[in-house]
Amino acid sequence: MAAAIRYSRRNLGLTGTNPSVGTLIVREEKDGPRIVGRGVTHVGGRPHAEPQALDEAGELARGATAYVTLEPCAHHGRTPPCAETLISSGIKRVVGAASDPDPRVSGRGYAMLREAGIEVVENVLAEEAADQLRGYLNRAAKKRPEVILKLALSADGKIGIEGEGQVPITGAIARRQVHRLRAESDAILIGIGTALADDPELTCRLEGLEARSPTRIVLDRNMRLPLDSRLVKSARQTALLLTSAADCEMARQPFADLGVGFIAVDVEGREIAIPELLEDLAERGISTLIVEGGAFTAEAFLAEHVVDRLALYVGPGQIGARGIPAPVTPQDVPHGMVLKREARYGPDRYFEYVREG
Ligand code: AOF
Ligand code: ZN
């Protein structure tokens, strides 16, 4: 199952509203277990993992065990239910990790298998699988994406210097981890202040993974983003959405001509309408959202209590008194968040916190 979960990561961020699920078909042979088929939910969400793994296994599936990171589906989509496909393949045993909250499936997938006489084991490494499926599970449970607040801070807890644009804080290894996180996420969001100060691109620039760049979102209700910013200039390659106030319709045209999309969120006097925005993103099929700052935007998401995960990269240098204080530091994480992972990336340290329970 651990191998199936690892395999399921392959299409994270590429399967739309569908979770990236992994399936391994395993035969017990004299000299030990042998993997005869692998599948991961295809880019775009279909085909599902199971039929692909079974295809590869062919006749070898007969009598074998299928390891699935999510309960096999029980509904008819463009293809028959995966539970049915497993049954007709002659699989003898199905080992499942997470259960599927989708009301069309929830419990029915496993029930169909059992009714057909297949041995079913549930909840194997369920927590690890749920961690991998957290965007999907979050969206199903809360009707909003999983929100990951990612910040790079100096050793003295600063995220930059007012008016200085991008200040280097972390090194090359940490930066690659950030790009990998981008590749695995559906969308990334920043405030207009950061967009103006840094002129970032927010794409994934790991070699070979460029096409996995997330949809970029800028909170820009007064449409201040320059038309010649890197974000706008790359809008035809990687989706860019601006959240604009409803009365900005006229101002939208030049952006629209360059391929920029819009989320009209009614802010009603508030600076950012976060709950409405998250709901809109979930409806668009976005399951994981990285929030990358700046301080004002990060604080707004923290105040709304919608941050599910904190990814803090701490560099070794000091910025000093001129620095912008980080809205959250490893010494001061929001109540109810617990350390999940800690790592060292060259000279930098990484701390990941998740919401408890
Ligand atoms: C599986 N294997 O690999 C995945 C599953 O829109 P559809 O018809 O593709 O169905 C989407 C639902 O299928 C999704 O909400 C989830 O319940 C399930 N995803 N199921 O058996 C897979 N990705
Ligand atoms: Zn399926």
Give the pLDDT confidence score for residue 265 in this predicted structure: 76
Strand pairing class (261-264; 93-98): unpaired
Ligand 1 atom closest to Cα of 39?
A: 3
Give the pLDDT confidence score for residue 162 in this predicted structure: 87
Measured distance CA(233)–CA(34) in Å, rounded: 49
Give the pLDDT confidence score for residue 171 in this predicted structure: 96
Q: Tell me how far the alpha carbon of residue 41 lies from the centroid of ligand 1, in angstroms.
A: 8
**Amino acid identity, position 294:** G
Q: Give the pocket of ligand 1 (CB within 6 Å).
A: 18-19, 21, 41, 45-46, 48-50, 70, 72-73, 77, 82, 100, 102, 105
Q: Which two tokens stand for residue 4?
A: 């199936």
Q: Tell me how far the alpha carbon of residue 125 lies from the centroid of ligand 1, in angstroms.
A: 20
Probe residue for ligand 1, chosen from 18, 43, 52, 75 as the CB with the greatest number of ligand atoms within 8 Å: 18
Q: Tell me how far the alpha carbon of residue 233 lies from the centroid of ligand 1, in angstroms.
A: 35
Interface predicted TM-score of the whole assembly (ipTM), two decimals: 0.94
Q: Which two tokens stand for residue 123?
A: 């909840």
Average pLDDT of the chain is 93
pTM (2 decimals)?
A: 0.88
Residue nearest (by alpha carbon) to ligand 1 atom 18: 73
Domains of the chain plus CATH, in order, are: 2-132 (3.40.140.10), 145-355 (3.40.430.10)
pLDDT tens-digit series, residues 12-71? 988 988 999 999 999 999 999 999 999 999 999 999 999 999 999 999 999 999 999 999
Is 20:40 a contact under the CB 8 Å cutoff? yes
